[in-house]
A and B are shown apart, each in its own frame.
Chain A
Amino acid sequence: MSGKEIDIGLHVLDHQLLDKDGRRCGNVDDLAIEGGVGEVPEVVAILCGPGYWGPRAGLVGRLAGWIGGGRKVRVPWSEVCKVDSAVELKRGATELGLGRGDDRVRPYMDKIPGAGR
């Protein structure tokens, strides 16, 4: 990532994550930012998963996160290849630990005839 300036709050946070094959694999639920007093803060990772909802929305977020299973996935910022209307990643979702819910539900759906129509 380099080049044009982007507003992290508006153009990254809460955006759709797409893996290298264009698969939807989560949203940017939070960002890990490093940098002490007087330093330029730097985004080091995208935080994804219901486990990160609590800090963002208090009790409601914690409840929603608990219902959602509380999983936390940390994707280093170096894995980001492009920030467009979605945040596009350099590798596949499974490799990065993303989209696991869909992968877990799929075998059950597949047991019902016609799932692959």
Chain B
Amino acid sequence: MSKALGLGLGIIAAIGGFVDIGDLVFNVAAGATFGYQLLWVIVIGLIGIIVYSEMCGRVAAVSGRAVFDAIRERVGFKGGVVALVSSEVVNLMTLAAELGGVAIALQLLSGLPYRWLIVFAVVAFAVVIWVTTFEWIERIFGFGGLCMLVFAVVAVKLGPDWGQVGAGFVPHIAHTNSLLYAYFVVGILGTAMTPYEVYFYSSGGIEDQWSPKDLGLNRANAILGYGLGGTLSFALMITGGALFLTHGISPQHLGTVALSAEQPLGQLGLLLALVGILFAVGAASIDTVFAGAYNLAQFCGWEWGRYRNPRGAPRFALTWLVLLLLALGILMTGVDPVLLTEYAVLFSVVALPLTYVPILLVANDKAYMGRYVNGRFANALGLIYLVVIMIVALAAIPLMILTNVGQN
């Protein structure tokens, strides 16, 4: 029973955790620009995150190593420093973007000034993480994030042309505006495979003391959790296509995304959408800030853990406090969270190989993994995705420049 409960909670957390500000921005904007044409990219990203999360969870369960332990052991100190610095920079940008998203959702709900709400959000997160045990954080944000399911209802209610939706799942290249199309391909893949998700996921496996017995749970968590989270990405893109493309609106503001729920469902829809965005992006903020603290603590060999109190893991606690303050500083410069999100996703794409190559190496190492080493299927998928990741990483910056960060 407790296993089923654990699985259920894990899935709820994954739904909230998968959908973050990057998914909101890229999927809706892609829908508003290209209709349903890019749905197939979500599928590819989704399978990618499932493959690598399962691998990380398996490495955690079998070898007892979280991702950053494995990275440093496997690529050595020098490579480890490069991976650490780049992941921390990307993490901080992502954290600032997510917190900005929280402040926007709060602003739309309360009408108070945005800058005050940034400060409020950062202080609130610091207090909540400091005084609340992680079990409760996970439940509160997991259930709150379920309000995002309103977008699935919205997508259906808007009555999209299901034939066209179906055609969107078939991979194809756009005939017009193909540079912008490629930019969205990179962005959607990047936001689906954001590395903070695997840092957070694998460290959680260590903290829950997974052993080879839990490999089934790991697989179920990865497939069902991310799979269900992914359906929300589909819904967001379909909503963008059915509502904004047909009306010629390009959503430049997170509020526009929430407003899409008002048209078919009225005030209640808008409220659910805003609350859902608030909790989903809030959960992502917490995952991101912990991911940053995990990476540094694991690299340096400090005490760490989201279930540990600040007394038990002092430098880990200090790290996430500092990261929250740095994110606050970034947001107070007045940078637009949506633009920050786009930069964060694109830079994370560039850094993807630094995370995923060592994971693939470790998952193939008999000395670490024994008989739980990658099978042919996992390796075939892992290698295919490695190629995809490499291409996308190389293409990200040129596409960002050529499309002026998706502006034309």
A contacts, CB < 8 Å to B: 7, 10-11, 13-17, 23-27, 29, 48, 53, 56-58, 60-61, 64, 68, 84-86, 99, 101-103, 105-106, 108-110, 112, 114-117
Taking a contact as CB atoms under 8 Å apart, the answer to whether B64 and A85 are in contact is yes
In this assembly, does B318 line the interface, its C-beta being within 8 Å of a C-beta of chain A? yes
Q: A26-B300, A85-B65, A102-B302 are in contact. Are A110 and B315 (CB under 8 A)?
A: no
A105: which B residues are within 8 A, CB to CB?
314-315, 318
| Segment 66-99 of B: residues with Cβ below 8 Å from A | 69, 72-73, 76-78, 80-82
Could you give, for residues 129-152 of chain B, a 1 whenever the CB lies within 8 Å of some chain A CB and a 0 otherwise?
011110000000000000000000
Taking a contact as CB atoms under 8 Å apart, the answer to whether B315 and A102 are in contact is yes
- Nearest 10 CB-CB pairings of A with B: A27-B301, A105-B314, A26-B301, A85-B64, A57-B78, A114-B131, A115-B310, A106-B314, A56-B77, A109-B310
Taking a contact as CB atoms under 8 Å apart, the answer to whether A16 and B301 are in contact is yes
Least Cβ distance of B160 to chain A in Å? 47
> Which one of A24, A109, A116, A117 contacts B318 once the chains associate, using CB atoms below 8 Å?
A109
Given A13-B76, A102-B313, 8 more contacts at CB 8 Å?
A: A27-B299, A68-B300, A105-B315, A105-B318, A106-B314, A108-B314, A109-B314, A112-B130
Taking a contact as CB atoms under 8 Å apart, the answer to whether B367 and A10 are in contact is yes
In this assembly, does B208 line the interface, its C-beta being within 8 Å of a C-beta of chain A? no
Instruction: Report the bound CA distance from A116 to B78 in whole Å.
Output: 36
B72: which A residues are within 8 A, CB to CB?
14, 27
A58: which B residues are within 8 A, CB to CB?
78
In this assembly, does B336 line the interface, its C-beta being within 8 Å of a C-beta of chain A? no
| Segment 170-228 of B: residues with Cβ below 8 Å from A | none
Least Cβ distance of A103 to chain B in Å? 8
